[in-house]
Amino acid sequence: MAEPKNAPRVPVEERLFSLVLALLATESGLTKNEILSTVQGYRQRYRTGGDNVNLERQFERDKDDIRDLGVPLETTEAPDQPGNNHSLRYRIPRGSYELPADITFSNEETTLLNLAAMVWREGSLSGESRRALMKLRSLGVESDEPVLGYAPRLRSREAAFDPLSVALERHSIVRFRYLKPGESEARVRTLAPLALVQHQGRWHVHGIDQDVADKRTFLLSRIVGSVQPTGESFTDDGGDHAANALAELDAIWANGVGVLEVAPGTDAAARLARRKGSAVTGENQLTLHYSDMNLLADELAGYGPEVLVLSPPWLRDAVRARLEQTAAAHGRPVPAGEHEQGADEQTVEDRSTNEQGKERDHG
């Protein structure tokens, strides 16, 4: 549109690289106009005295891309013209860009970090891990032979993970729809995210719920639809939020106790007995811990006739109801009159401040 025609195409990485070089080299900073008119990749499309709206938008996006890589791009106002956007100066301070010279990694440490990065090879944070390894290799340290005998991996299949991890880094307040157990419709929550934690294999986001001005923990798998930034940001008080969230989830887990009868010699008997915290408390009887009754009910329903829940009553009813629902959905409705009246469903939230409950009721 407003850009000169026939401008030579400069690859994106060349423009970004040139921008970083220019901003590293300047002591006093460059104004946006100086950047757009002189830096490789912008200057070819710059119209002197003309409309450069598209180019300015490009620059805004490039700034975000560069910051995402951990490049500290600073903005300073001209002391004589505060508030004037056109006199803002941009630079990358060398001291906060460069890895401190005393930080070095041994071969052994490099090997460990390679393995740590490999943990994320599937999906979320795989890009971050890959780029972190690139920076590590920049130091020239070779890692020992990759550990072939081991391939541990973490993964997050929830679509909410990526936008939440970005919001964590930028300290931005986000909004999402969350389906609480027992509610038929998802409700909008506004959260200042403080930490992402995986507990018992499930991802949670911990943060300050803006509506109640208090800390809450949400299961990522119950977030419905997309996570949207509100445009507002917050200041992190610097606490050890991840450790606090995990400790809280551990406490809930320790409190939740279920007693089951398991058929001997079955998959359920073998696997449930091997779980962390499980104990055999009688003939074919097992006691286990859980942090979320609804997720446990789903899981136990999967074992079909191999498991009979003895207590608590609401877990018993929840598993029974799920099995009847599945049977009916596959053409075998439960005979009428045989359904016993169950106790009210109780969720974790009744016993703590946590937002936990039924997971898979989005449908």
Partner 1 sequence: MVDRPAPLQAQDKLAFLLALVPYLMDHGRVSVAEAAAHFRVKPEALRRAVRLIAVSGVPGATSSYQHGDLFDIAWDDFEDNDQIVLTHMVAIDDSPRFSAREAAALIAGLQYLSALPENIDRDAIGALMAKLARGSSASPTQVAVSGSESDETLGLVREAVAAGRRVEFDYRTSRGDSERRRVDPLRIESIDQDWYVRGWDAGRGAVRTFRLDRMSDLAVTDDAIVRHPGDVALPDALFEPSDEDLTVRIEVAEAALPLLGDYLTEDAPTRPSASRPGWVETSLRVAHFHGLKRLAAGMPGVLTVLEPQEARDAVAEWAAAGAARYRTL
- The reply on whether position 38 binds partner 1 by CB under 8 A is yes
**Smallest separation (angstroms) from partner 1 to the CB of 87:** 18
Q: Does 259 bind partner 1 (CB under 8 A)?
A: no
From CA 330, how far away is CA 289, in angstroms rounded?
Answer: 31
H or E stretch including 227? strand 223-233
Query: Exactly one of 125, 191, 219, 348 binds partner 1 (CB under 8 A); which one?
Result: 125
* Cβ-Cβ contacts under 8 Å for 124 (sequence gap 6 or more): 155, 156, 161, 162, 165
Q: What string marks each residue from 264 to 293 as x (binds partner 1 by CB under 8 A) or -?
A: -xxx--xx--xxx-----------------
Give CA–CA dist 356/354, Å, rounded: 6
Q: By CB under 8 A, what part of segment 162-221 binds partner 1?
A: 165-166, 168-169, 194-201
Residue placing its CB nearer to partner 1 in the complex, 82 or 308: 308
Select 79 or 335, whichever has its Cβ closest to partner 1. Answer: 335
148 lies in the site for partner 1, by CB under 8 A: yes
Phi-psi region of 342 (alpha: psi -120 to 50; beta: other; left: phi over 0): beta
Residue 178 burial by CB count (10 A; 0-12/13-18/19+): exposed, middle or buried? buried
Q: How far is the CB of 311 from partner 1 (least distance, A)?
A: 12
> Any contact of residue 252 with partner 1 (CB under 8 A)?
no
Q: Judged by CB, which is closer to partner 1: 83, or 337?
A: 337
Shortest distance, CB of residue 272 to partner 1, whole angstroms?
9
Taking the alpha carbons of 165, 167, 173, 176 in that order, is the dihedral positive or negative? negative
State which of residues 57, 130, 187, 351 lies at the interface with partner 1 (CB under 8 A).
Answer: 130
Q: Per-residue x/- mask for partner 1, residues 16 to 35, rule CB under 8 A?
A: xxx-xxx-xx--------x-
> Residue 12, interface with partner 1 (CB under 8 A)?
yes
Contact 154, 203 (CB under 8 A): no
Per rule CB under 8 A, is residue 82 in the interface with partner 1? Answer: no
What one-letter code names the amino acid at 177? R
Residue 316 found at the interface with partner 1 (CB under 8 A): yes
List Cβ neighbours of 121 (8 Å cut-off, separation of 6 or more). 129, 153
Shortest Å, Cβ 310 to partner 1: 9
115 binding partner 1? (CB under 8 A): yes
At its nearest, how many Å lie between partner 1 and the CB of residue 29? 14
- Looking at residue 43, its amino acid is R
Distance in angstroms (rounded) separating the CA atoms of residues 131 and 118: 12
The CA distances from residue 178 to 149, 173, 353, in Å, are 40, 15, 15
